[in-house]
Amino acid sequence: MRVADLGENNLIQRLSSLTKHAGRSVDFGNSDPLLLGPGDDAAVYRADAGIFLATTDTAVEGVHFTRDSICWQDLGWKVMACNLSDIAAMGGVPLHALVTLGLPMDTEINDIDELYAGMIESSNAYLFTIAGGDVVHSNNFFISIALIGHSNGTLLKRSEAEVGDLLAVTGHLGSSSAGLRILNQRKDQFASDSQTSLHTQRVPGFATITLKARSFLINAHRRPTPRLSDGHTLLKHGVKAAMDISDGLLLDLTKMMTSSGTMARIESWKVPIHPHTLRTFPADALMMSLTGGEDYHLLFSASPQVMEQTLVNIPQATIIGTVVDGPPGHVSVVDKQNKEFSLDYLGWEHFRS
């Protein structure tokens, strides 16, 4: 069945009933903060006085994803993870999501159900509700999410990095980028297969990936983990400056340094890269870790004392450099001999604009 067969109102009713209990594994009873979900002109929720967060993130078919590279359920999970990652990067907790779907009339209802399965999985994992949204016709598919969150009053900001701070990330970078590369190579391989033999290995190195590495990296691309609890740990130990890495370390670090009026010095050999990435793409792993997006780890900055305490509590986090005095927004990457990398070489220019 397709959208055109079901009709917009029936589709909205279907989605309302799908999401009714999502993110409510706790029995709120009369204290359910969501007073009115989908079905009226607006979602209605109750909140205590405090600080609230609002973010939005969108995925457009053909621009941010293709049906070759991700299934509908993973897409639902991933778009929600992008939004949750923004809330994590402020140190908040998610409360309510609004979901807007732009749908071609021939979209299969089954596909939309799977997309929602991924979002509902996310809402049950991170305990927020899907409070409403909108369904509109569009020639190409898109999904846009607005997410409201709560903060306990202290915030992780991009503008709070200070000269003398250490810079760290909450985990391996480049895994998502490596996963996407594998998916694209597979596609190229399929394309060439159709013209040559099924067993031709036209893409160098592809045959040497173990199944385990392959599934780990593809999973990193399709099912990123929003670092909500890491965000809370950062706040708890006094970290003030953080953001999530969605567009790649160098680009996002540039934003943080611009916002803080400082410069960063990254020690390239300290950037954490997963062994699967290193072994699968030995030549490109460093570039992937520096410029590859969508890992959704948190990048943060703190004084050496605060950093020490924090790293004890986030064991997988790693120091990668320092905040130094210099041109605001400048990022310098050096090797073990303290020689500066040419960032053009690293593909940096492609990501600048």
**Among 184, 185, 219, 259, contact with a copy of itself (rule: CB under 8 A):** 259
User: Which residues have CB under 8 Å from 80's CB, separation 6+?
Assistant: 97, 118, 119, 122, 123, 145, 147
Q: Is 328 in the site for a copy of itself (CB under 8 A)?
A: no
Q: How far apart are CA 321 and CA 253, in angstroms?
A: 11
- What does the DSSP 8-state code read for residue 341? P
Report the SS3 class of residue 147: strand
What is the footprint of a copy of itself within residues 224-253 (CB under 8 A)?
A: 243-244
**Among 148, 166, 234, 333, contact with a copy of itself (rule: CB under 8 A):** 148
Q: Tell me the window of 135-143, 174-182, 192-200, 342-350 that interacts with a copy of itself (CB under 8 A).
A: 135-143
User: CA dist 197 to 194, 200, 205, 211, 345, Å?
Assistant: 7, 5, 18, 22, 35
Residue 139 or residue 195: which is nearer to a copy of itself going by CB?
A: 139
User: Shortest Cβ distance from residue 12 to a copy of itself (Å)?
Assistant: 10
Dump the DSSP string for 234-288: HHHTT--EEEE-SS-HHHHHHHHHHHHT-EEEEEGGGS---HHHHHH-TTTHHHH
**Among 10, 208, 210, 229, contact with a copy of itself (rule: CB under 8 A):** 10
Q: Is 136 in the site for a copy of itself (CB under 8 A)?
A: yes
- Return left, alpha or beta for 248; rule: phi > 0 is left, psi -120 to 50 is alpha, else beta: left
Q: Is 163 in the site for a copy of itself (CB under 8 A)?
A: no
Q: Is 54 in the site for a copy of itself (CB under 8 A)?
A: yes
Locus of tokens 């993130």: 57
User: Shortest Cβ distance from residue 303 to a copy of itself (Å)?
Assistant: 21
State the residues that interact with a copy of itself by CB under 8 A.
7-10, 35-36, 39-60, 62-64, 85-87, 89-90, 92, 96, 98, 100, 102, 131-134, 136-140, 142, 144, 146, 148-149, 151, 155, 157-159, 243-244, 255, 259, 352-353
